[in-house]
């Protein structure tokens, strides 16, 4: 297949902009971090609702006001999690969270009175799963940012950066190793993934993150290995989960917010499963 230079240019420009925005949100301060993951959360939720609508006709017919309660409730969770942290106490996030609750109650009353009896079990189930799949991981990432100094003696962004770097390196190395020596398919859900690429990506992610983290910031090997290995394994599962959802929905990409790269869920599918996995490992064992 001939190389499409225009497509390659579009993908390259989009990737550069994406990386710059991500790094800016990560490194600037706690507020840019909160805004970044709030945007990621909303973008993923919107695409999730669209995918569920393609899977379930009843969900597709659910009014926007019903789906908006999911987004409002997610904002409330995000503000409450941030508000209880030490880094965000200069602004009354609890007060803003209370204001959102009032809006949420109004929306809930409207949907209960006019729509909920007509929507039924599948719609309510998919809506609740969206909170577990997207909202909780984003809130956990804000919590990890706030607790970063408990695990690493360094800047607040270091723990989220280790998780994200583990995901990016794992994905990149899995692609490279799979392209070079991959022969055995990993799963019918994602035929292009190979076992050789998957295992090679995990091993290289652990090595690169652990060595770089210890060399540049003197971070402990034990914690780095635990985070990178957990993120690599859980991230791979997250990628397969989103591939399964897209296959059921009959689409190639979850959205189109990044020309040439897909949507929010395409970019953050691995991270959504890796975050709670790392959160559990850190708070249970470290």
Give percent of the chain with pLDDT exceeding 70: 91
Residue 28 CB partners (closer than 8 Å, separation 6+): none
Residue 48 CB partners (closer than 8 Å, separation 6+): 130, 133, 134, 265
Over residues 187-235, the pLDDT tens digits come to 888 778 888 989 999 999 999 999 999 999 999 999 999 999 999 999 9
Which position has the token pair 């402990």? 220
Mean pLDDT along residues 122-136: 88
More confident position, 49 or 188: 49
Say which DSSP state 40 is in: H
Over residues 18-46, the pLDDT tens digits come to 888 999 999 999 999 999 999 999 999 99
Which position has the token pair 């990432």? 141
Burial-class residue 264 by CB neighbours within 10 Å (0-12, 13-18, 19+).
Answer: buried
Cα–Cα distances (Å) from 204 to 82, 152, 211, in that order, read: 33, 22, 10
Let me know the angle formed at the C-alpha of 26 by 25 and 32, rounded to the nearest 5 degrees. Answer: 40
- Tell me what the pLDDT averaged over the chain comes to: 86
Residue 152 has pLDDT above 90, yes or no: no
Residue 3 has pLDDT above 70, yes or no: no
Over residues 161-171, the pLDDT tens digits come to 999 999 999 98
Over residues 62-84, the pLDDT tens digits come to 888 778 888 888 988 898 888 88
Over residues 90-119, the pLDDT tens digits come to 878 877 777 787 777 777 777 766 665 566
More confident position, 25 or 121: 25
Mean pLDDT along residues 42-56: 93
pLDDT at 2: 41
pLDDT at 24: 92
CA neighbor of 65 nearest in space, from 102, 99, 116, 101: 116
CA distance 216 to 155: 13
Which position has the token pair 């790269």? 261
pLDDT at 223: 95
């Amino acid at each position: 297949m001939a190389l499409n230079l225009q497509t390659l240019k579009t993908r390259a420009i989009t990737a550069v902009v994406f990386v710059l925005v991500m790094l800016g949100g990560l490194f600037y301060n706690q507020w840019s971090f909160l805004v970044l993951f709030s945007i990621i959360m909303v973008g993923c939720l919107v695409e999730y609702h669209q995918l569920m609508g393609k899977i379930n006709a009843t969900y597709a017919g659910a009014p926007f006001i019903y789906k908006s309660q999911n987004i409002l409730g997610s904002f409330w969770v995000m503000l409450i999690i941030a508000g209880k942290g030490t880094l965000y106490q200069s602004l009354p996030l609890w007060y803003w969270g209370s204001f959102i609750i009032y809006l949420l109650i109004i929306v809930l009353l409207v949907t209960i009175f006019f729509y909920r009896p007509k929507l039924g079990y599948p719609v309510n189930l998919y809506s609740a799963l969206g909170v577990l799949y997207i909202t909780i991981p984003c809130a956990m990432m804000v919590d990890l940012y706030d607790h970063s100094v408990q695990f690493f003696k360094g800047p607040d962004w270091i723990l989220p950066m280790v998780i994200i770097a583990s995901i990016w390196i794992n994905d990149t190395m899995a692609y490279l190793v799979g392209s070079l020596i991959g022969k055995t398919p990993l799963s019918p859900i994602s035929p292009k993934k190979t076992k050789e690429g998957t295992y090679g990506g995990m091993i290289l992610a652990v090595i690169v993150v652990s060595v770089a983290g210890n060399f540049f910031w003197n971070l402990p090997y034990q914690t780095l290995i635990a985070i990178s290995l957990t993120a690599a394994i859980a991230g791979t599962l997250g990628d397969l989960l989103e591939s399964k959802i897209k296959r059921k929905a009959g689409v190639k990409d979850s959205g189109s917010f990044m020309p040439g790269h897909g949507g929010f869920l395409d970019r953050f599918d691995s991270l959504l499963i890796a975050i709670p996995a790392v959160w559990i490992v850190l708070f249970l064992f470290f």
